[in-house]
Each structure stands twice: as C-alpha cells, then as structure tokens.
Amino acid sequence: MPRERAHLNLDADLGLSDFEPQQKGRGGETHDMKAALQTVAEQSGFPSREPRRRRKRQRSPFQAQINLKCREDIKSLFHALGDRLEVHDHTTFELALLALLEKQGYSDLITQYRDIVILFDN
C-alpha cells in the first residue's frame, strides 16, 4: 500500500501580491553590493573566478620549421651541444649554420645571415 504524501499546509488566502519584484536603484546599489561581496569573499579566502588578463608576449621570430631526417646519434649529439652551450635548439642550429658558412668562406651568405639575425634581434 503506497504511503500518503505530506501536505504543504498552505493558507488558502495566499495571494500573488506578496511576490512582487523589488524595485532597484539606478545600478549604484548593485555595484556597491558587488564590491562589498568581492571584499568579503577575498577576506574569507575565496579568490575570484574571473580570468586574469594575460600579458601580451612579443611574437617569436622562430616561426618556420625545417623537418629533416638524421641519424639517432646525430640527434643526441645535437642536443648535447645545445646543452653545453645552454641554448635552445633553434640557436644551436643557427650557430652551426654560421660556423659552416664561415668555414666554407661564403661571405655573401654570411652577410645575408647577419642581416636576418640582426633584423630579428632588435
């Protein structure tokens, strides 16, 4: 046998006039209330969930990619050289390219290399 539900015990003379919306001011009250709530929340240890503004970073000049195959040991050697020089892979590559250009004596390509590097370093 199902159980009987509990009654709500509401008065029969309940009218909708009790549920009228409250009148707000011109927005000043709500702004003050938001500021007060934010202050209380921060004091209570509740940080804001709004995203923080990100600082704009300068765009990197290293956009182009060179994908090439090499021997596994050469790859390890390349990374070891970068570790010793304490530089990133792109800098290791540029330094190796400059050393090769200087060794071969290609002064026109060395000038072109320096123009590119100076352009992006400033």
Domain edges within the chain: 86-121
The span from the CA of 38 to the CA of 117, in Å, is 49
What are 7-53's pLDDT values in tens digits? 777 666 666 666 666 666 565 566 688 888 888 888 888 877 777 77
Q: How many residues in the chain?
A: 122
pTM above 0.85, yes or no: no
The span from the CA of 86 to the CA of 82, in Å, is 6
Q: According to the model, what pLDDT value does residue 3 have?
A: 76
CB contact at 8 A, 89 and 78: yes
Share of the chain above pLDDT 90, in %: 39
The span from the CA of 76 to the CA of 83, in Å, is 10
